[in-house]
Amino acid sequence: MTKILSPRLVIVVLAAALLVYPLVLSGAFYRDIGVTFLLAAISASAWNIVGGYAGQVSVGHSMFFGLGAYTPLLFYTQWGWPPMAAIPVAIALAIGLSIVIGMPTFRLTGHYFSMATIAVAELIRIFTGTWDFVGAAIGLQGPAIARGWWDLTFRSELPYYYLFLVVLAFLLAVTSFIERRRFGFYLRAIKSSERAARSLGVPVRRTKMQALALSAAFTSVAGSLYVIKTGFIDPDSGFGILISVQMVIIAALGGAGTLFGPLVGALILIPLQSATNTWFGGGGSGLTYILYGGIIVLIARFEPGGLFDLWNRVAPGLRGALRKRRHA
């Protein structure tokens, strides 16, 4: 990162802004954007571990998100578990699924890997829509009225906001830890050249599997958080392709394979999405696709490295200009 502003200062300012945001902008609309933003940032940061750092662009991460969303509500409707108690089960299932999915799909690289992940996620979505045990096309409902605090059913957005913020902070801490360890180096090496990585003794298959499992676990947590807040899930809101695409776009917009890239991407995309939805009302739901499509084109054409990359190129010049002005 460039030192136009010290990175540590940027993090402190950002953290402070996120902490006070729902207190300063306390309207329901702003708080809703805040919660949606955090959830999107968590999902995209989770995707970033395997999609960004390791460069294995999954476009089927909704399979883990949906698993994380369905499991708590299934355990609630079937056995009356508090939704949050099923989060560890969902994590375990997501890791299991990641292994089953990773074994065959990691034999593929590049676009083939991406297409395989789309196909699997779509299969799961369609299958879920026909399976009565998980509510088929209608989906599942959570506790309407909290039986106790442990059901985490609040009327205010505020508790959700801070819960999500804690999870995001934890995920970023884990990512930052990985980034500086051997595992993180191996991920970036694999992204750059699997062949060269292998020649240096990097266990490529195993490392990719570990990255996918970790990414799946956190994506599943994002799904669980989503469902604990909304109290409802159906095949489209759990396993829909837009869920996966949103993760990819947010990470790519901010900078895939960078610690704060997904956060920056969510900071831009979510308010933009909320604004277009508000301006055009319910009739504008197809607009999301147009927005995503437009962003994909712009990133691919002008900034394949995302905004972080742009910043890293522009910042030294800015710093020079600032210094010049100070001396003038």
- Write out the residues near another protein by the rule CB under 8 A: 180-182, 185-186, 188-189, 191-193, 195-204, 257
Which amino acid would we find at residue 306? G
CB 210 to another protein: min, Å: 15
Reported for 114-118, long-range contacts at CB under 8 A and 24+ positions apart, including other chains, are 114/57, 114/58, 114/59, 115/59, 116/60, 117/58, 117/59, 117/60, 117/61, 117/63, 117/244, 118/59, 118/60, 118/241, 118/244
DSSP 256: T
Q: Distance between CA atoms of 238 and 221, rounded to whole angstroms?
A: 12
CB 199 to another protein: min, Å: 5
- What residues have CB less than 8 Å from 232, skipping those under 6 apart? 73, 139, 140, 141, 142
Of 3 and 147, which has the nearer Cβ to another protein? 3
What string of DSSP letters covers 62-85? HHHHHHHHHHHHHHHHHH---GGG
- What residues have CB less than 8 Å from 141, skipping those under 6 apart? 73, 77, 231, 232
CB 51 to another protein: min, Å: 15
CB 126 to another protein: min, Å: 37
Of 198 and 319, which has the nearer Cβ to another protein? 198
177 burial class (0-12, 13-18, 19+ CB within 10 angstroms)? exposed
Of 42 and 211, which has the nearer Cβ to another protein? 211
Of 75 and 186, which has the nearer Cβ to another protein? 186
CB 147 to another protein: min, Å: 48
Of 32 and 194, which has the nearer Cβ to another protein? 194
Of 64 and 186, which has the nearer Cβ to another protein? 186
CB 197 to another protein: min, Å: 7
Of 27 and 201, which has the nearer Cβ to another protein? 201
CB 173 to another protein: min, Å: 17
Query: Could you tell me if 184 and 275 are in contact, meaning their C-beta atoms sit under 8 angstroms apart?
Result: no
- What residues have CB less than 8 Å from 288, skipping those under 6 apart? 242, 273, 276, 277
Compute φ and ψ for 233, nearest 5 degrees.
-150, 140
Of 61 and 191, which has the nearer Cβ to another protein? 191
Q: Distance between CA atoms of 28 and 314, rounded to whole angstroms?
A: 37
CB 53 to another protein: min, Å: 11
